[in-house]
Structure 1
Amino acid sequence: MPKAILFALSALLLASCMESRAQTPLTAAPPPAPSSAPDTEAACAQAGGRWGKGGMRGLPMCFQDYADAGETCTSAADCQGRCIIQADGSGQCQKTRPQFGCFRYLDQQGRVIGLCAD
């Protein structure tokens, strides 16, 4: 019987030292999913986009320009798309979606995020 009590007390002691993962808050929310792009050439043209091939696989898709393309930004909140970091470190609103390749952008809080997209 004493071994069972000792075992139970040891288990309780260890359990009280464990960190609860449920209490750990997320530090950054994922960026919101972009609205879906037109998936046919006719729908793309109707939405004011350009139909073409994109990405490494050269898949047909719709390229759409953002109205605030090229404007200065300090976070994603300033842009319709992403706030892309330029070579000089300044932020500029994304010109076209989708955007392929590797680039850095600023999230809603102005933090730097790196991304490679295909």
Structure 2
Amino acid sequence: MSVSRRPGLLLAGLLLAGLLLAGLLLALLVAAGSSALLFAQDNPPVPIAGARDSYRRDYGADIAAETIACRARAGTMAYRGRTIEPVCVIQTKDAGKTCSASAECEGRCLIDIDKAKDEEWRAIAVGAAATGVCSAEELHFGCYIPIERGTAGHPVCAD
């Protein structure tokens, strides 16, 4: 029996081939996407200057009001973390002072993971007795271990 006498058979074969090809493409896209995701996690994207410009244009009045309030607290507006909006940055007077709780600091009591050696901070168990230092700014961006009541908390990363 020739294929020309059975057009339905030809159509079914083409459909099956198309489905197989679509499945192969989907598998390739998933594989490429997962490696791209892993790459993105290791190399976080830097906010685009255009996004910050757009934010300033759209929320200029809000930023101006926040800047006035920030200056009244002896702070400056700056970018921290990966955000496109500026935040009020207030330097603390007790930065680097040894502490056992945030109540002893103008900012946070912490172990700065970004500055500590891997083997040092990884050896600190959650709930273990620990001593930290007062943060340099009221809001701390980056990775750190909070210290409260003389014990280490879970590591935190603030963007």
Shorter-chain TM-score tier = 0.5 to 0.7
Q: Is the 8 A contact 2:106 2:138 kept in 1?
A: no
Are 2:87 and 1:47 equivalent residues in the alignment?
Answer: no
Unaligned runs of 5+ in 1: 1-38
Partner of 1:45: helix, strand, or coil?
A: helix
Structure holding more strand per residue: 1
Number of matched pairs = 79
Unaligned runs of 5+ in 2: 1-64, 122-130
Q: Distance in 2 between matches of 1:51 and 1:62?
A: 5
Query: TM-score scaled by structure 1?
Result: 0.56
Q: Distance in 2 between matches of 1:73 and 1:40?
A: 31
Runs of 4+ in 1 over 6 A off after TM superposition: none
Q: Is the 8 A contact 1:76 1:110 kept in 2?
A: no
Query: TM-score scaled by structure 2?
Result: 0.43
Structure holding more helix per residue: 2
The match for 1:64 is 90
Q: Distance in 1 between matches of 2:75 and 2:132?
A: 24
Partner of 1:59: helix, strand, or coil?
A: coil
Spell out, residue by residue over 1:34-69, the C-alpha distance to the aligned partner (whole angstroms, 9 max, x if none): xxxxx6111111210011122212311110112222
Q: CA deviation at 1:104?
A: 0.9
Q: CA deviation at 1:94?
A: 1.0
Are 2:138 and 1:112 equivalent residues in the alignment?
Answer: no
Counterpart mapping for 1:13-24 below 5 A: none
Partner of 1:77: helix, strand, or coil?
A: helix
The structure 1 residue matched to 2:101, chosen from 43, 57, 75, is 75
Bigger Cα Rg = 2
Q: Distance in 2 between matches of 1:91 and 1:54?
A: 22
Amino acid at match of 1:70: G
Q: Distance in 2 between matches of 1:42 and 1:111?
A: 38
Q: CA deviation at 1:81?
A: 2.1
Q: Is the 8 A contact 1:52 1:61 kept in 2?
A: yes
